[in-house]
Amino acid sequence: MELIKNLKENEFGEMDGEVYFEYLKKYIYLSYDKSIDFAYVERICKYLNEINESIMFRLCEYSTKYCNDMIKNYPDAEYNRGLYDLKQPIEILKFLDVKRLKIDEYDEEKSNVLNLSGSCEWDKENGFQWLIKDDIILYVGAWDDLDIWISPLDDKWSNYVL
C-alpha cells in the first residue's frame, strides 16, 4: 500500500495527491504548498496513520457535540434519522466523510499537525474540520479553512473542543 500517490502540481502551484488513512482504510485527498519540504509532508502523512483509538474517540465525541448542537439550534432542518439514535460517539463516523488532509506551512518543524476536513450529514453546507497538533485536538467544528498556525481557535461558539 502506497502512503502517498498521484502527486502532481495543480494550476495554483500547490501539490495535490492522495494519502492513505489507515484508521478509515481509504485514500483521502492530500494538498500542500509546493514550498513545503517533502520530508515534512511524508512525516505528517505517517503521523496521520498513527492516529490511535483514543484520539479518534475524542474527535467523535466533539463531532457528536457539534452534531447535537446543530440539531438543537436548527430543529426545522431535515437530518438523517440515524443521528438521533447514536449510542456511542464513534458511531458518528457513519455520518461523516473525512475527505482531505491539508498540510499547512509550519511554524514549528518538529510539530505534527493534522488539518482534516470533509462532509457531514448534520451540516451539509459547511462540512467539518478537525485540527490536531501533537495528539492534542485543538478544533472540531464547521469547516472554515482554518490554519492552526494563524487562525484563532478560541471561539467557544464554534469550537466544540472548548
DSSP string covering 17-47, please?
EEEEETTTTEEEEEEEETTS-HHHHHHHHHH
Read off the C-alpha cell for 110.
Answer: 518538529
Asked whether residue 108 is assigned to any structural domain, the reply reads: yes
Q: What is the pLDDT of residue 6?
A: 98
Q: Residues 12-23: what's their mean pLDDT? A: 96
> Is 90 a domain residue?
yes
pLDDT in tens, 149-161: 877 777 777 899 9
Please give the pLDDT value at position 158. Answer: 87
Q: Identify which of 58, 137, 72 has the alpha carbon closest to the alpha carbon of residue 83.
A: 72
The pLDDT of residue 80: 92
The mean pLDDT of the chain is 93
Higher pLDDT, 77 or 108: 77
Per the domain annotation, does 117 fall within a domain? Answer: yes
Task: Report whether pLDDT(126) > 80.
Answer: yes
pLDDT of residue 142: 95
Band (5; pLDDT cuts 50, 70, 90):
very high
- Helices and strands: H and E segment counts in the chain: 2, 7
In a domain, 128, yes or no: yes
Give a yes or no: residue 156 inside a domain: no
Tell me how many domains the chain contains. Answer: 1
Q: Is the pLDDT of residue 83 over 80?
A: yes
Nearest to 113 by CA among 55, 64, 40: 40
Q: Is residue 89 part of a domain?
A: yes
What's the number of CA atoms in the CB half-sphere (13 Å) around residue 103?
Answer: 31
Over residues 96-106, the pLDDT tens digits come to 999 999 999 88
> Is 67 exposed, middle or buried, given 0-12, 13-18 or 19+ CB atoms closer than 10 A?
buried
Amino acid at 142: A
- Give the pLDDT band of residue 109 (cuts 50, 70, 90): confident
151 within a domain of the structure (yes/no):
no
Q: Which domain covers residue 69, as residue numbers?
A: 4-142
The answer to whether the beta carbons of residues 117 and 143 sit under 8 Å apart is yes
Q: Residue 43 falls within a domain, yes or no?
A: yes
